[in-house]
Amino acid sequence: MKPSIGWDKIINHLHSFAFMVLESQPGAHALMLLGGGLILLLLLFLLFAFIVVGVVFLSIKQGKFYFPRLIRAGFAYIEGTIKNICAPFGLKEAALTIFFIQLHNKMSEGDFAKTEIKDRAIFLPHCLRSLECPASLSEEGLFCKHCGKCELDRSVTELEEMGYRVFIVPGSTFIGRMVKKYKPRAIIGVGCLREIKDGLKFADGLGVVAMGVVNRTDGCVETLANWPELMKVASLQALKV
Which lies closer to ligand SF4 via its Cβ, residue 56 or residue 128?
128
Residue choice 85, 150, 166, 190 for contact with ligand SF4 (CB under 6 A) = 150
Residue choice 6, 36, 134, 219 for contact with ligand SF4 (CB under 6 A) = 134
Cα separations in angstroms, 47 against 68, 70, 78, 80, 212 = 17, 13, 12, 15, 30
Distance of CA 128 to the CA centre of its chain: 21
Min CB(162)–ligand SF4 separation in Å? 18
Angle (nearest 5°) at CA 124 between 170 and 163 = 135
Residue choice 127, 152, 159, 210 for contact with ligand SF4 (CB under 6 A) = 152
How many residues make contact with ligand SF4 (CB under 6 A)? 14
Residue choice 82, 122, 133, 230 for contact with ligand SF4 (CB under 6 A) = 133
Specify the 3-state DSSP secondary structure of 146.
coil
Residue choice 82, 101, 124, 129 for contact with ligand SF4 (CB under 6 A) = 129
Which lies closer to ligand SF4 via its Cβ, residue 124 or residue 208?
124
Let me know: does 209 contact 112? Beta carbons within 8 Å. yes
| C-alpha–C-alpha distance, residues 111 and 104, integer Å | 12
Beta-bridge mates of residue 122: 166, 188
Binding site for ligand SF4 (CB under 6 A): 129-130, 133-135, 144-150, 152-153
